[in-house]
Structure 1
Amino acid sequence: MRLLIIEDETALLEQLASLLEKEGFTVERAANGEDGGWMACEFALDLAIIDIGLPDVSGVDVIRKLRGEGKAYPVLILTARDGWRAKVEALEAGADDYVVKPFHEEELLARVRALLRRASGWASAAISSGPFTLDTRAKSLERDGDAIELTAYEYKVLEYLLMHAGEVISKTRLSEHIYDEETERDSNVIEVFVRRLRAKLDPEETLNPIDTLRGQGYRWSLPRG
């Protein structure tokens, strides 16, 4: 999952980015509203974290801009304890949730995970489909209760496919959502990750959980649990 943080306090920006990267997210950074607003509209994102107290372009205006451009991904705002008016304004502009500064890291992570699940129609951190259960908090996978070991990028590909179960996901879209903007992308690498996932998830080739649609991409084919 690819996230954007827009925060003008350098120390807080790096703290948040480091926290989220340790949790396996791909993170883009913007230190002001002008750059952040452009990235929010131009990058393929799954969620944005926006400080509404930005000094140049306000966080509220950034939210209005991205919603005006038709971007529907979740937005989590960071707000000062006494900034209730700005918080209400941001929610009215299209933000989905908020965290009050100073905040506990676990609370922020929980809100990020909840927004991502809600956007994909999942209710809990444990995503079940067929015999598989993906724990998005622990970053772990089980089949009928037996653990399956995945590399970091195998997990990212599987999580994205499962979170969008039933949708056809192109190689380009997968690449955009698991790599940051500066990483060189190769669609052949995505093919390798999918091939390895199939071997680990379905070694007997009886379930076929990941469909390939020639010329279109991949689709998680098993029903949601």
Structure 2
Amino acid sequence: MQNIVGLEGENLGGITRLFFIEQKNLLEQQPTDGLLLEGTITLSPGTEWHFFIPTPYTTSFTEEEERTPHGYLYTQEVKGFRAKDNLQLAKAWLKLRGKKMVLLAIDANNQCRLIGNTEDFLMITRKLDTGSAPSIRNGYNFSFKGTSTEPAKFFVGTFTVSEEGPTPTPGNTGSGGGPVTIKDVNGNTLGIVPAGSTFTLPDIWLTIDDKYLEI
């Protein structure tokens, strides 16, 4: 056992970035300290993580522990909203249908979790709602959900992302430069992206060149 200390620093809710691969491309990972993976996540040759940018302030990760006669089980779910139905997005959803997925999720406190492993996985469901009036948002509610015999691992290191290349987790300088934190004028975190990449806001495209951008 150990002491559970008090909160240090600010505490922000929400998932800001998601990355996904098919479980079959994840090779065995060995935690360096129980819940912590450090360095790199080994994938099948030629495999890269794909990014998923949900609508800001809509995405969360939950993990519920349950004691069963066969040991502990963890129900894990990443759910949120992706705005605006269109052909490209509909095709992307279909490519994920029925696939066993593993996720990397970065939260607004700059913690990165590997959700899923070589034995356990998540599967996606989504629901389209176009709304009935212009004031009602159009888009998809989505959920990646599964059960695992282990809690999601924390990850600190560098991983390779499609179209972005080597990407360090927040707080890890790695070889690709630090991440960019995007905040609104009230100090709310809108997202965390690698320097030089593009972050999407409703009807706005921003190209990020600096470590910090206030809008």
Structure with the larger helix share: 1
Structure with the larger strand share: 2
Asked if Structure 1 and Structure 2 have the same fold, meaning a TM-score greater than 0.5 normalized by the shorter chain, the answer is no
TM-score (norm 2): 0.26
Larger RCO, structure (CA 8 Å, separation 6 or more): 2
TM-score (norm 1): 0.25
